[in-house]
Amino acid sequence: MPKYILTIGLEVHAQLTTRSKMFCACPVEYGAEPNTHTCPTCLGLPGALPVLNKAAIEKTLLTGLMLGCSTPPVVKWDRKNYFYPDMPKNYQISQFDLPLCLGGGVPLYDFAYPKDAQKSIANPGKVVKLTRIHLEEDVAKSTHHDRFTTIDFNRAGTPLMEIVSDPDIDSAEEAVAYLGSLRQILLYGGVSDADMEKGQMRCDVNISVRPEGTTELGAKIELKNINSMSAIRRAIKFETERQIDALERGEKLIQSTRRWDDDRGETTLMRTKEDAHDYRYFPDPDLLPLHTDKLLASVKPHVPELPHEKRARFEQQYSVSAYDASVLSSTLGLSAYYEEAVSARPDVSPKKVANWLLNDYLGTLNSKVSYVIPSVATEPQTINYAIPAGFGSSTSVQAPSTQFPISGQAFADFVYQVESGKISAAQGKEVLPVMLDTGKPAAEIIKAKGFEQVSDTGALEAIVEQILAANPDKVAEVKGGNEKAMNWFTGQAMKASQGKANPKMVTEIVRKKVLG
């Protein structure tokens, strides 16, 4: 049986976070009462004229800059002609031959791969090449009921960015990593909320297989209606097997479009190339071509530190592991909170702050269910940060730092209490959940729990002196260089103070008193 090579290209539609629509002033609002945000332009009424949304163009250019695309000096808008009830003016305004962005690429982040695939990444550090990014208007949203269809024009005319990759993706796992990485970059740039569940990011998959040793790509088959990260992986797996089975039977595959049925876990034929649309693109006479140089220059200063840059900086600046740096930079909210805490207490090791934040802090919040771990990918699902988990298994909610119940300063103060030896790590694990629950400062909780260590030199000296006097034989052992005897004294002092003595200080006092 010959081996087969899989080739995948993705077309991702991302809704932009603008306040108004692409060609009119109607507000963009997810979940509003149907057909309340409409006007003659976005309803496609005769004579209504489009006006360009500058913010949408800027956000698309910013995306291009983040992904290393180039921008033609002049871009234009074209009419894509077709008749469908969700587009009553019978054409969609899109971009054909002069889009806002060309080329570029999406770096695949290790942590965006499905969790089970992270240990065996075939092409580490791969950058998936992009063909283009263009800007168009979204269509209205149809909802099909048993015997009729309803339509909501709130979505009609909202800015939609289409990111088209080259056929440069080699596996279902890479497709997941591509979407996760892209989503993280879009969130970093603040250009889209990119929530697949809400339809803010939608994806069509072009997939073909060919026998190993052949160079010509197999028939391109497009999969529609994929609306979650896990569905993408399953859809690609199913379709790959279906196509290989067909080739094995000697069938010839033809270019076609298929619909993914998530419940049944299979694809079904929608249409073949013969009945594909001819969109008869032509330049929209209502919109002038656009010179891009000035806009591009005004957007350039807004290119943010990208996820991989932030990760590298965290590793270097804060000496955290590559894994911890990835989790800390998984969302802007979490990374900002971490840096807020670190800068609040320069006397506490940033690595310790990261340990407490990733293990105990987020673990505690997760166990309360009220908080969903922010990350770059897929279905809302609570994951436990104590167990290494990748983005592929986590959620889609961007966490603003307001979701953290205590300030970065208060959290850093807590870490200081533990790391300076004021309380033990075990006591810290008791204090932190109370802090997160009540919002009270660490010092107050430590006092209330009676955890305060005795660090008063005079008091400790008195305790040690008493024990030394009662155990002359052990004193002799310490003098003879027996380290175990030294530890025995520390243990006795801890016992005498009911565990509240600062062990470091006790050892120092014993050493000073016995050895001089």
Interface residues toward Zn ion, by CB under 5 A: 24, 26, 39, 41-42
The DSSP H or E segment spanning 74 is strand 74-75
Residue 426's contacts (CB-CB under 8 Å, 6 or more residues apart) are none
157 or 218: CB nearest Zn ion: 157
Q: How far apart are CA 83 and CA 279, in angstroms?
A: 10
Q: Minimal distance in Å, beta carbon 201 to Zn ion?
A: 23
39 or 246: CB nearest Zn ion: 39
Residue 430's contacts (CB-CB under 8 Å, 6 or more residues apart) are 449, 451
Q: Minimal distance in Å, beta carbon 85 to Zn ion?
A: 17
26 or 505: CB nearest Zn ion: 26
88 or 503: CB nearest Zn ion: 88
239 touches 207 (CB < 8 A): yes
186 touches 203 (CB < 8 A): no
332 touches 398 (CB < 8 A): yes
Q: Minimal distance in Å, beta carbon 27 to Zn ion?
A: 9
Q: Minimal distance in Å, beta carbon 86 to Zn ion?
A: 15
53 or 95: CB nearest Zn ion: 53
41 or 330: CB nearest Zn ion: 41
Q: Minimal distance in Å, beta carbon 26 to Zn ion?
A: 3
Q: Minimal distance in Å, beta carbon 150 to Zn ion?
A: 19
Q: What are phi and psi of 130, to 5 degrees?
A: -105, 150
Q: Minimal distance in Å, beta carbon 135 to Zn ion?
A: 17
61 or 139: CB nearest Zn ion: 139
CB under 8 A, 24+ apart: contacts of 193-198:
193/15, 193/17, 193/398, 194/14, 194/396, 195/396, 195/397, 196/227, 196/228, 196/229, 196/378, 196/396, 197/227, 197/228, 197/379, 197/380, 197/396, 198/30
Spatial CA neighbour of 298 closest among 59, 25, 95: 59
Helix, strand, coil percent content, the chain, rounded in steps of 5: 40, 20, 40
Q: How far apart are CA 143 and CA 79, in angstroms?
A: 25
48 or 246: CB nearest Zn ion: 48
Six-digit token pair at 25? 């002033």
Q: Minimal distance in Å, beta carbon 46 to Zn ion?
A: 15
Place of tokens 């990733």: 358
Residue 497's contacts (CB-CB under 8 Å, 6 or more residues apart) are 454, 460, 463
41 or 329: CB nearest Zn ion: 41
The rounded Cα 288 to chain-centroid distance in angstroms is: 37
48 or 217: CB nearest Zn ion: 48
Residue 250's contacts (CB-CB under 8 Å, 6 or more residues apart) are none
Q: Minimal distance in Å, beta carbon 79 to Zn ion?
A: 18
32 or 297: CB nearest Zn ion: 32
* Strand 74-75 with 290-291, pairing: antiparallel
Residue 459's contacts (CB-CB under 8 Å, 6 or more residues apart) are none
What does 182-219 look like in DSSP terms, one character per residue?
A: HHHHHHHHTS----GGGTSEEEEEEEEEEETT--S---
Six-digit token pair at 505? 């200080």
Q: Minimal distance in Å, beta carbon 21 to Zn ion?
A: 5
Q: Minimal distance in Å, beta carbon 126 to Zn ion?
A: 41
